[in-house]
Chains A and B, each alone.
Chain A
Amino acid sequence: EAQVTQNPRYLITVTGKKLTVTCSQNMNHEYMSWYRQDPGLGLRQIYYSMNVEVTDKGDVPEGYKVSRKEKRNFPLILESPSPNQTSLYFCASSLAGRGEETQYFGPGTRLLVL
């Protein structure tokens, strides 16, 4: 089944404790991206990656890191989480051609930083 998976789905942590949210896709997509969703703000892009070893900042990159060492994986790293990073996080992927390029989303990760 073609899908984007994220782990963990739910996470409660404390300020300053490093964490990683994993994202994996099995569709051989070149493009992957991380979004955060906050009430009243819709989804905002954190980081994106055009391909292996190619990453760039989105609209709200502060406090986050990413890496793309393999095509299928795109982990999101919070080196020192803070309460304002409490949010719902989505990973998404798509093809990188000239076509429709619909982005397919993972199930989301709910993060609470105390």
Chain B
Amino acid sequence: AQKITQTQPGMFVQEKEAVTLDCTYDTSDQSYGLFWYKQPSSGEMIFLIYQGSYDEQNATEGRYSLNFQKARKSANLVISASQLGDSAMYFCAMSPRASSGSARQLTFGSGTQLTVLP
């Protein structure tokens, strides 16, 4: 079974500063993927960034980077230069990186509500 833990129910950050959202995971799979999604108040789920368990470099997508520490089973999201539009709920999720024909269940954490202050 897989489990995702997000220990920060809410976070505040000043506009233009960087913020780190924590995510730890537990899995017995050798190969897996880690994802971060953003959910603004409008409700949609927006894919932000992906990290494969065998990727040697940390993933980056614009202002988003994923601080992947495999030994610690952590996959923290770093948002640089925060903007007011970054205020949203952020979910960490993982999925087994299965071969064709296997399930691709995404397991989600409970989320972190980020508020960017002007």
Interface residues of A (CB under 8 A from B): 31, 33, 35, 40-45, 48, 50, 56, 58-59, 88, 90, 92, 94, 96-98, 100-105, 107-108, 110
By beta carbon, the residue of chain A nearest B47 is: A102
B104 touches A103 (CB 8 A): yes
- Of B10-18, B64-72, B79-87, B93-101, the one contacting chain A is B93-101
A108 touches B45 (CB 8 A): yes
Q: Which residues in A have their C-beta under 8 angstroms from that of B99? A: 98
Cα–Cα, bound, A90→B108 (Å): 13
Interface residues of B (CB under 8 A from A): 4, 33, 35, 37, 43-47, 50, 52, 91, 93, 95, 97, 99-101, 103-106, 108-111
A-B contact pairs, 13 of them (CB 8 A): A41-B110, A48-B105, A50-B103, A88-B43, A92-B106, A100-B52, A103-B104, A103-B106, A104-B47, A105-B45, A105-B47, A107-B44, A108-B43
